[in-house]
Structure formats: C-alpha cells, structure tokens
Amino acid sequence: MEIVKILNKSTFDNPTYATEHSSGVDLKAFIDEPINLKPLERKLIPTGLFIELPIGIEAQIRPRSGMALKKGLSILNTPGTIDSDYRGEIGVIVVNLSNDIVTIEPGERICQMVFTRYEKVSFENVNKISETDRGAGGFGSTGHK
Ligand SMILES: O=c1ccn([C@H]2C[C@H](O)[C@@H](COP(=O)(O)OP(=O)(O)OP(=O)(O)O)O2)c(=O)[nH]1
C-alpha cells in the first residue's frame, strides 16, 4: 500500500479531513460560513488539505452521487487532477447544475478523492501510425444499439 502524506489545516471533527471509504476519501468544505451557489454558478471551495503523493500516483476529485441527485451539485472539472508534485491546498471546483440556490455548509462532504496509478510515457515522432479496423471512426460511428 502506498503512503500519502497529509497536512491537515482544517479544524473539523476527527478524522478532520475526510470520511474514508473503500475506494478513497470524502473531502469536506473548509469554510467558516455557508456558501450559496446560484444556478450554474461555480466556486472554488477550500478543503484545508495539503498532500504529498508518491511519484506515479495521482489523486482524482469526483462528485458524490448523493449531492448530485439531491442538490444538483457537481464538480465542474471532474475528474479533477491532483498532481504528485502539487503542494498547494486542494481546492474543489463545485458547480450548481440545479435550478435552485444550493447551499454548502461548513464541514459538508462535497466530493470524493480517489487515487490512481498513472504511466509515464515518452513520445516518438513518426510519419505513419498503424492501421486498424476502426481507423478514424469515432464519436458515435458504431451507432446507438
Ligand atoms: O480540482 C482540482 C484540480 C487541480 N487542483 C490543483 C492540483 C493540481 O496539481 C493543480 C493543477 O491542476 P490542473 O493541471 O488541472 O490545472 P491547470 O489548469 O492545467 O493548471 P496548471 O497550469 O497549474 O497545471 O491544481 C486542485 O486543487 N483541485
């Protein structure tokens, strides 16, 4: 199991940073006052968390299905990428996709963060790439059913 170092400046209950579940952790809004989002409004919400990821591991910020279904709250850039060399505070770009004002409360779990391994690649410049059956077909080329 990889170790992720975590610096926690949030002051919420213990564990202050998150609720752990099988595939990752939920992150809480590190805010003093409730924040309102108008329909289609987006805001960067601080978490009070700073992490040091092992090389080869990235963290992804994803919406919570309950927040999406009940409030219409999503993450605008999902899945948000936390790079292994990033040392700033983790921020969450929430967006209100409902027709109503959505309120985020201090300490509310607003998203989930999962960890994935990524491959490092290098590029080789060529004049031709291999042919396949699919070729350039994409964007729905195989139909609906
Ligand atoms: O939801 C997010 C997405 C990103 N970040 C932080 C960590 C990440 O490592 C850094 C850069 O993110 P990204 O590469 O998505 O942003 P960019 O727009 O390409 O900015 P940059 O030029 O800083 O790479 O911002 C967050 O805190 N939350």
**What's the CA-to-centroid distance between 93 and ligand 1, angstroms?**
10
**What's the CA-to-centroid distance between 97 and ligand 1, angstroms?**
22
- Consecutive sets of 10 residues in the chain, 145 residues long: mean pLDDT of each? 88 60 85 97 96 95 96 98 96 98 96 94 97 95 90
Does the N-terminal peptide bond of residue 79 adopt cis geometry, omega within 30 degrees of 0? yes
Collect contacts of 14-23 with beta carbons under 8 A, ≥24 apart: 16/48, 17/47, 17/48, 17/49, 18/49, 18/109, 18/113, 19/109, 21/112, 23/112, 23/114
What pLDDT, on the 0 to 100 scale, is given for residue 18?
Answer: 55
pTM across the whole model: 0.92
Pocket lining: 61 vs ligand 1, CB cutoff 6 Å = yes
Probe target for ligand 1 pocket from 6, 45, 76, 82, with the most ligand atoms within 8 Å of CB: 82
